[in-house]
Chains A and B, each alone.
Chain A
Amino acid sequence: MAVLDIRLYPDACLKQVANSVEYFNDELQSSVSSLIETMQNAPGCVGIAAPQLGISQRIIIIDASQRKGVKHHGMQVLINPEIISWDSYVIGREGCLSVPDFTGNVMRAETVIVEALSAGGQLQKFEFEDFEARVVQHEIDHLDGLLFLDRLVSRRSDLFVRKNYKGKN
């Protein structure tokens, strides 16, 4: 339980697919505590994923309550999170603790439904929207070895900012 050093790109841990959490033991609780403390120690930070601390496990923390005026579910610990549905796409700006001094535009689903286990192993289901949806997608990408750098789009694409990919057309 401590504020740990953030792994910076190109650290190999950030490009690996993280392992599913199997045991809800003291070691997991210790990792969760370290993630929360490290996230809260970084000004303006609204989310963190275990690979950012060199822990190759599918654990993320999100806390969109840090941002004024956005819908949020408060701080959430999400273990083995899975996005089970996506709706509408929008471009927004992202930065990352693991990629200092750079922000870029990324297209993300505007709404996602996520299933995840709590720190105690209980199955939870959330519908995240807008800012919070972006945070959770950014963090889940970390678990799959993806950074926002892997999803950059150009500013010119902003003219085509909202697309609805519902259905086959």
Chain B
Amino acid sequence: MQWFMLTVVGKDKPAIVAHIASALFEGDCELGEASMLRLGGNFTIMLMVKHDGNEKSLQDLIGTETQSLGLQAHIDKIDGALHHHVEPDVRITVHGADRAGIVAKVTGALVEAGLNILSLESDVGGTEEQPIYIMSIEGRANEGIASLESALSTLTGQGVEAHLRPVEAVFA
């Protein structure tokens, strides 16, 4: 059995996950970690699938479903495995008027200050005329929280508001 990363995108409609999961289950696959989001009206999922075969045979297992639902599937063989979690120690939320380069500027400054990004979700709200950009990041502060706070303070003066909170997991 080999782990694959299955990526599926397409126009969103009800029951896509159920159809794909059923096809994989009937094909004796195991499912691992997954992230599904609706982005701009599109269905998107990245899903770890353990399968006794190759990319082609996995593609064939879900072929009927993806065709009938009008979805695109992409499959990569991966080295990953379960139980390889890295716990975040910091959470950052950023918002501001939407403008070109905001993600590059914020993530660039944070990475420079030692942040290893473990997850990032972003959205555009506001109105068509006055869109706002909202981003939520979790990661590891490899050079400490103070370094990230300093990086964020330089961004705050540039029309971006950022909030940083340490993530201290209660373990009980």
Q: How far, in whole Å, are A62 and B172 apart by their CA atoms in the complex?
A: 8
Q: How far, in whole Å, are A139 and B95 apart by their CA atoms in the complex?
A: 35
* A contact patch SS: mixed
* B contact patch SS: strand
Q: How far apart are A144's CB and chain B's nearest CB, in angstroms?
A: 15
Q: For chain B, give the interface size range.
A: 20 to 34
Q: How far, in whole Å, are A42 and B119 apart by their CA atoms in the complex?
A: 28
Tell me the total A-B contact number using a CB cutoff of 8 A: 64
User: Given that A135-B172, A158-B93 are contacting pairs, would A93 and B121 also be in contact in the complex, using a CB cutoff of 8 Å?
Assistant: no
Taking CB atoms, residues of chain B closer than 8 Å to A45 are 171-172
Q: Which of A16-24, A73-81, A94-102 contacts B (4 or more CB under 8 A)?
A: A94-102
Taking CB atoms, residues of chain B closer than 8 Å to A42 are 171
Say which residue of B93, B119, B171 sits within 8 Å of A159 (CB atoms): B93
8 Å CB contacts to A: which residues of B143-171? 165, 167-171
Q: How far, in whole Å, are A135 and B87 apart by their CA atoms in the complex?
A: 19
Q: How far apart are B40's CB and chain A's nearest CB, in angstroms?
A: 16
> 8 shortest A-B CB distances, which residue pairs?
A47-B172, A93-B169, A95-B171, A94-B170, A93-B167, A44-B171, A134-B170, A95-B169
